[in-house]
Structure 1
Amino acid sequence: MDNRRLWGVVLVLWAGLSFASPAQDLLNEVSRLLNDYYGGFSQVRPQELRQKYQGELDKVCAGEVACPTNKVFPLIQSLIAEIGDRHTRYFTPEDYAEVQRRLAGTSSNRPQLGVQLQLVPGLEGLLVVEVSAETPAEEAGLRRGDRILAVNGEALPQAESERNNFLRDRLGAGEPVNLTIQRAQQRFEVQVRPRIISLRQLPSLALRSDGVAVLRIPSFSGYQQVGPRIHELVRQAQAAGAKAMVIDLRNNGGGVLSECLVGAGAFVEETYRRLQDNMRSSEQGYKEGYYYFRSGGRERPQYEVRAVRWTAPVVVLVNERTASCAEYFTFDLQEGRQAQVIGQPTAGVGNTATIFLRLSDGSGLQVTTSRAQRRDGSFYPDRVTPTLSFSDDWQALAEGRDVMLEKAVELLMGVNVGVDEE
C-alpha cells in the first residue's frame, strides 16, 4: 500500500470517529466510568445497560450528527436509576457545579438568606427549618420554625409550586427586603439584605436552661473542619455544665468520611471503617485523637485533634434525609455506646462510599466505589433504624414546638452521669 492510499485510510478512520455526537460522547464517557469505578451492592452491572440505552439514544438523536448533550441527560438518569443504587447519581452541569460548591464550602452563585425552607401543604408561606451561621438570616434573627409570609408587603403565592421561585426572584438582586415573618402566634417584619454567602455548614451548639445541650450538625462536608469543631463544641458543653446532649442530624446529607469518623470519636472510644471495592480495601478511623488512613499496607497523612470524650447521656435525631456519612456517625454511636436514636429510618446509603467525577461537558457523576465493613468483615446495614420511631411535625414546628426534640429531652431529663476529657 503506497503512502497516498495509507493516508486515505487514516483520514477516513479519523473522519468516522469525528462523527460521534456530543450526546454519544457523553453516554460513552458515563458508561466507561461506571464500568471502571462502580463497586456497590447492586446486582445490575452498568455494562449490561449500555446496549439498551444506546438504542434509546439512536432513537432520540435520529441520525443527528451534532446531537447535543441535553438530549442524553434523561437517558443517563434512567440508566443510573436502573442500577438501583441511591449513592450513584448523575448531575447536569448546573447541578454538579452547585454540589461542588457545597462540598468545598465555597460561596453561593447568587445572593441568599442562608436558610433551608420547607413547603408544608395547607400552611401559608414557607417554613424555615434551618438557619445557617454567619448569614443574613441569622443576623436578622430568623429561627427554625419561622414562616416567611411576604416580601416587601407582597404575599407569597397561594400556589404552593410557585413560592420558592417567587422568593428566589425577589432575593436575587441582593437589595434589602422586608420580610413578613410568622413566629408561632406573633407576626412581625424584619429587614434583611441577601448576599453571596459561604455554603460551608459547620456544627453549632445551643445550651438549654434545663441542662441539655443541643448539638446541631447540618453537614459533614469540610475536611479537617467538622470533626475538630464537634470536639470543641462538646468541650464547650462540658465547661457549661451540660448534663445531657441531643445530637441533631436531621437533613444531614453526609460529607467527608474523615469528619464523621473523627466527630463520632467525641462520643465513643474508637471509630473504624474498612472500605472494600472491586480490587482492594482501605482502612480509615479515629483513635486517641488521631484520624488515620491506610491503604496497600501504607499509612497516609493523618491529622490530630484536641480530643474530648462525652460520656453523659446522649440521644441522636435522624430523619429520611439523614444520609451517608451522617448514617455512619449514627451507627458508631448506636454500636459504640448504645445511644438511643429518635426519628425515621434514614436514607439508606449508610453502607457505601462514593467519589465525584467531573465529566467533559461539566456535568458529573457520584459513583459508589466501595462497601463499608466493620473490623470483623461484616457489612453495615444500608440504613439506621431508630430506637424510637418519630416523624417531624411541621405544623407543630410552625406553632413553635419541635416535637422530636421535645421527646429527646424528655428521655434525657433526670439522668446524671459524669463526663471525662482526654
Structure 2
Amino acid sequence: MLFDRVNQLVQDRYGGLSTVDRAALRSEYQIRLDAVCAPDPQTCASTKAYPVVQAEITALGDEHSFFQTPDDFGDFVASATGGNRKQFGVKLARLDGENRVVLEVVPDSAAAEAGLSRGDVLQTIGGQPYTYERLRSARLGDQATALGVDRQGQRLNLTITPRESSTRDLPRLTYAGPQGKTAVLRIPTFLTGGGVAQTVHNLVGQAQARGATGLIVDLRGNGGGSLSECDSAVSAFVPDFVRVARTSDGDVQTRVSRGLRLEDGQAQGGVRNPKLWTGPLAVLVDKSSASCSEFFAYEIQYAGRGPIIGEDTAGVGNTATRVFPLPDDAALQLTITNYVKPNGAPYPVRVMPDQTVAQTEDTIRRLTQGVDLLLDSGVRALSAAPTLSSDRARN
C-alpha cells in the first residue's frame, strides 16, 4: 500500500524538472519490492518497503524529493506547526572538526535560560571534553548538564537542562553599525506554523519608528518553509511582484502586493497593517539558505532593491515541494512545482550573491572573537545601497 501510494503521487503530482521515465521507474522498483517481500507479499511489513522507496525517489533524480520515515515526519510536523519537542534551542557551527560554536540561541529556550550567546565556544560537557555526540546525548536525557564555555577568552561555567519547548522561531530585530542605526532583521525560518510574514511587517514598522537608516535581512541558515509566508514577507521590501507556477495541473500566476497574495486573481492571505521599507537594504545568505529563502533573496535582487551578500545559496530556488502523508505515519516530500517569471524566464536554481563573503573556519573563528564579517560587510554595503523611489513605492 505504501509503495503504491508513493508511485501514485510521483505519477500524478510531480511537477519538477526531472526527465526520468517515471512509469519505467515504478516497474523497476516493483521488481525490487517483490524480491524483498517474497515469499508472501500480502503480509510484507511497510518497513521492508522503506529502503526500496528511498532508492526509487533517489533514482528520480530530484534532490528536493525524498522519503520520510515516521521519525523524520514527526520531526517535520513539529517544526512545521510550531509544536513542542525536547531541545536545547541552540544552533551550532563547526570549529576544529566539531559542531561547537554557538551560531544562534532561540529566544526563551533552554539555551537562552542557561546564558549561552552567539559566538560562544563549547569546550567541555559534563566535565568531559566537548563532543557533539555528548551534547546530543545530554539533549535526549532529562538531567541538568554542566557546560564549560569560552566567551572571547573568558571561561564560563553554565548549566543547561533540556526541556520540551516550542519549535516556533519567529523573526527578531536587533541593531548594529554606527550609533546602532542599522536594523538587523533575522529571519531564521519560514517554517514555524504561521506568523512569520506578520512579524516581519511589524518589525519593519518598529525599525521605521526608531529611525533606522538602513536595514539588513539575515537569511543565513534559513532552510525555507511556507512560500506564502515568504511572499508576504518580501512585500515589506518590494511593493509588487509576479511569479508563475508550473504544475502538473497547469500554470498558476501569483501576484503579491503590499502584503496581499493573489493566485489567479483570488486572495490567498496577507498581513494586517502592511509596512514598506523604502530605505537602503541588504540581504545576507549562505550555502544553507534554501527554498523560499532563496525566493526571498531573488525577488529582492530581481527588483534591484539591494545587494545580496554571502555565498551561493543551497540550490532549491526554482521549485517548490509538498509533504504528503503516507500509511503508517511515513511521508513523501515531492517537488510539485517549478517557477518562471511572466515572460517565461525561469527562476535560478540558486541565488548568486552580488558580493561574495564565504563562511570558512576562519570566519567562524572570528565570530568567537566577537567579529561577524558578513554582517560587517552588510553594514558597509548599505552606504551604496539604493532606496525605493516614491513612484515605485506607490505601484
* Contact 1:293/1:302, CA 8 A, preserved across alignment: no
CA separation of 1:359/1:416 partners in 2, compared to 1, >3 Å: closer, same or farther?
closer
Q: Per the alignment, do residues 45 and 227 of structure 1 end up closer, same or farther by CA in structure 2, a change over 3 Å counting? A: farther
Which residue of 397, 403, 406 maps to 2:373?
403
Q: How do 1:148-227 residues align onto structure 2 when only pairs under 5 Å count?
A: 148-156=122-130, 163-208=131-176, 210=178, 211-222=181-192, 224-227=194-197
Residue of 205, 217, 227 corresponding to 1:235: 205
Query: What residue is the counterpart of 1:328 in the other structure?
Result: 295
- More displaced 10-residue stretch of structure 1: 91-100 or 305-314: 305-314
Note if contact 1:238-1:419 (Cα within 8 Å) is conserved in structure 2: no
2:322 corresponds to: 355
Q: Find the aligned partners of 1:372 and 1:225 in 2 and give their Cα distance.
A: 24
Matched, 1:132 2:100: no
Equivalent in the alignment of 1:92: 69
Query: What aligned pairs does 1:2-401 form with structure 2 within 5 A after superposition?
Result: 25-65=1-41, 66-108=43-85, 110=86, 112-122=87-97, 126-156=100-130, 163-208=131-176, 210=178, 211-222=181-192, 224-294=194-264, 299-392=266-359, 393-401=363-371
Aligned AA (1:309) = L
User: Structure 2: any 5+ residue segments left out of the alignment?
Assistant: none
Distance in 1 of aligned mates of 2:129 and 2:317: 41
Q: Distance in 2 between matches of 1:119 and 1:97?
A: 26
Does 267-276 or 405-414 show the bigger shift?
A: 405-414
Structure 1 pair 54/413, CA: closer, same or farther in 2 (3 Å)? same
Q: Distance in 1 between matches of 2:366 and 2:40?
A: 55
Cα gap change, 1:348/1:171 in structure 2, threshold over 3 Å: closer, same or farther?
closer
Question: CA separation in 1, counterparts of 2:155 and 2:40?
Answer: 58
Distance 1:405 1:280, change over 3 A: same
Alpha-carbon contact 1:318-1:343 (below 8 Å) kept: yes
Structure 2 partner of 1:10: none
CA distance in 1, matches of 2:47, 2:167: 28
SS at match of 2:28: helix
Structure 1 residues 364 and 377, CA gap change in structure 2 (3 angstroms): same
Structure 1 portions without partners, runs of 5+: 1-24, 157-162
Q: Post-superposition shift, 1:178?
A: 2.5
Q: Deviations over 1:187-239 (max 9, x none)?
A: 20122332111111111111125222211111112465111111111111122
Distance 1:327 1:49, change over 3 A: same
| Aligned-partner Cα distance in 2 for 1:353–1:378 | 17
Look up the SS of the partner of 1:254 in the other structure.
Answer: coil
Letter in 2 for 1:141: G
Q: Indicate the SS of the match to 1:259.
A: helix
One-letter amino acid matched to 2:294:
E
Equivalent AA in structure 1 for residue 94 of structure 2: L
Rounded to whole Å, the distance in 1 between the matches of 2:25 and 2:77 is 28
Distance 1:138 1:205 in 2: 16
Q: CA RMSD in A?
A: 2.4
Rounded to whole Å, the distance in 1 between the matches of 2:242 and 2:145 is: 48
2:111 match: secondary structure: helix
Cα distance per residue 1:356-378 (max 9 Å; x no partner): 10100211111111111223333
Structure 1 distance, partners of 2:193, 2:141, is 32
AA partner of residue 244 (structure 2) = R
SS at match of 1:220: coil
TM-score (norm 1): 0.85
Matched residues in 2 for 1:64 and 1:121: separation?
51
Deviation at 1:280, TM superposition (A): 2.0
SS of residue paired to 1:182: strand
Residue identity in the other structure for 1:82: A
Query: Partners in 2 of 1:251 and 1:415 — Cα distance?
Result: 23
CA contact 1:86–1:348 (8 Å) conserved in 2? no
What is the distance in 2 between the residues matched to 1:223 and 1:285?
Answer: 22
The amino acid of 2:84's aligned partner reads S
Alignment correspondent of 1:11: none
**1:417 to partner: Cα distance:** 5.8
User: More displaced, 318-327 or 135-144?
Assistant: 135-144
Q: What is the TM-score when the length of structure 2 is the normalising length? A: 0.90
* Distance in 1 separating the partners of 2:6 and 2:263: 29
SS at match of 1:381: coil
- Secondary structure in 2 matching 1:303: coil
1:387 CA displacement? 0.9
**1:263 deviation in Å?**
0.6
3-state DSSP of counterpart to 2:164: coil
State the Cα distance separating 1:301 from its structure 2 match. Answer: 4.6
| Cα separation, partners in 2 of 1:76 and 1:332, compared to 1, 3 Å | same
Identity of aligned residues (%): 34
Q: Secondary structure at the match of 1:97?
A: helix
* Moved beyond 3 Å, runs of 4+: 58-62, 64-67, 413-422
